[in-house]
A and B are shown apart, each in its own frame.
Chain A
Amino acid sequence: MLRIVWLILVSVLCSPIGNVAQSDDVLESPVAPLVAAASSLRTLWPDLIEHYVNDTGGIEPRVSFASSGLLSTQIANGAPFEVFLSADLTSIDRIPAHRLTQPARVFALGSLSLITLPNTILADNLSLNTLKERLDDKSAKSRIRLAIPSPRHAPYGKAAKEALTLASIWPLDNGQLLAAENASQTLQFLRSGAVEAAIVPHTLLAAKHGKLIIKQLPLELYNLVEHHVAIMNTANNEAMTFAQWILSSEAQAVLQNSGLQVTTP
């Protein structure tokens, strides 16, 4: 029995340690840049990366999607990301200065859309005005709920709150608002039928998500969301290449096709 225990211990201690070391090596390897990206970029990511690999011959980055605020907290606490694609500058400013190699640069501007499903009460005439009417309508009130990304840590949520405030819809009554953890989850709330309407980044709607009724919010109601790219001091050459490529005309064309406004002509 003792021999078996020793055999198991030795084999186990050897192989997984090797694997752990290997996976740590991968973080520093020049072939696998580690990117933290705002979840509003999730839908366009496959297309973007396909173009990146084709244009540069680079290796597909490993990516983690979350709200910019959450990713910023993770980086500030030591997460080993090499490139940060944030949907606001505030999240980058929270990162200790020594982690950044150069000032962040804007690579795209994002807008918001109000969306609903075809079978809802809002579907026939979707607009902020009809949304406000339905939310104010006491008789139908219980049937209308709105989802937005959490304004506490999601840049698109802050922009949505800005627009709702100017449209005299904010603040909403208790139970009328669902604050999602990030932009992707906001869309998930609508698709699952948990809410009747949602305000999401327009770029999330670039991919097909079944039948949705979409109405872009008037641009005068909020400031466009600025997507920034920041390079961490741990970035390897591959990560630097990717961060520079995203500012190129090739990347900007992909971003524009996906519903973002670009910063270079």
Chain B
Amino acid sequence: MSAVLVSFKLAFWTMLLLVPIGLIVGRWLALSTVRHKVWLESLIMLPLILPPTVIGYYLLVMFSPQTVSGQFISSIVGQPLVFTFPGLVIASVVVNLPFAIQPIQLAFSHLPHELREASWVCGLSPLKAWWHIELPLTWQGVLASATLVFAHTLGEFGVVLMVGGNIDGSTRTISIAIYDSVQAFDMQTAGFYSLALLIFSLVALAVVRSVNKHG
């Protein structure tokens, strides 16, 4: 069951770190009119297209104590990040960027600009306008973002295997445990984990769809 705990912990931390990032970047992308914004949007969306092994490879090289960047990171953090839980969280954050940012960007882009102007006219500061006006109107996007990030992290395999390895109690997630159980001819455990992920993913998607429908 330690794989379940590691998976949920990873999903939780990824969600916790990504939702604020999604709120800042997603809102900025929705409102910004800067030129060449499409390049930044494409960069954020890259994990949707790139094979996880490509992202895993670059993160492995970046974190490895054998590279200059890895030695630099180790000297700051105090330990190599690769094959550790904190390293896994960073990898997971990178992979899930599009799942966090896109729903929030979409929600903010649907907000009429007049609402913001009206709140300013009423004397609200931009921060108060964001907190009292914008956030309550875009909460569906934020919830969809958090749910998608959580569910996608639980099922992530390629990057987790490359950056985290398969260390029991530390980096062995549910999806890695499924792979490991099949290799060990333990189809019962693999079946149990697979069914659990299937049900959870279905429920998560139903939540997102339901929120979008009724929002």
Contact = CB atoms under 8 A, between A and B. Distances in A.
Interface of A: 2, 12-13, 16, 19-20, 23-24, 26-27, 32, 34, 39, 42, 62-66, 74, 76-80, 96, 182, 184-185, 187-188, 191, 209
Given A16-B12, A23-B6, A23-B85, 16 more contacts: A16-B9, A16-B13, A42-B183, A62-B168, A64-B172, A65-B183, A65-B184, A66-B166, A77-B64, A77-B66, A77-B82, A77-B83, A78-B64, A80-B167, A182-B183, A209-B185
Contact of A74 (B70, B83, B182, B184): B83
Interface in B84-123: 84-86
B41 interface: no
15 contacts: A12-B12, A12-B16, A13-B16, A23-B85, A23-B170, A24-B170, A27-B170, A42-B183, A62-B169, A64-B168, A74-B83, A74-B165, A78-B63, A78-B70, A182-B183
B80 interface: yes
User: From DSSP, what is the main secondary structure of chain A's interface residues?
Assistant: helix
Contacts of A20: 9, 13, 85-86
Given A77-B83, A78-B70, A80-B84, A26 B170 contact: yes
A79 B82 contact: yes
A113 B117 CA distance: 77
B60 interface: yes
Interface string B175-204: 000001011110000000000000000000
B65 interface: yes
B186 to A, nearest CB: 10
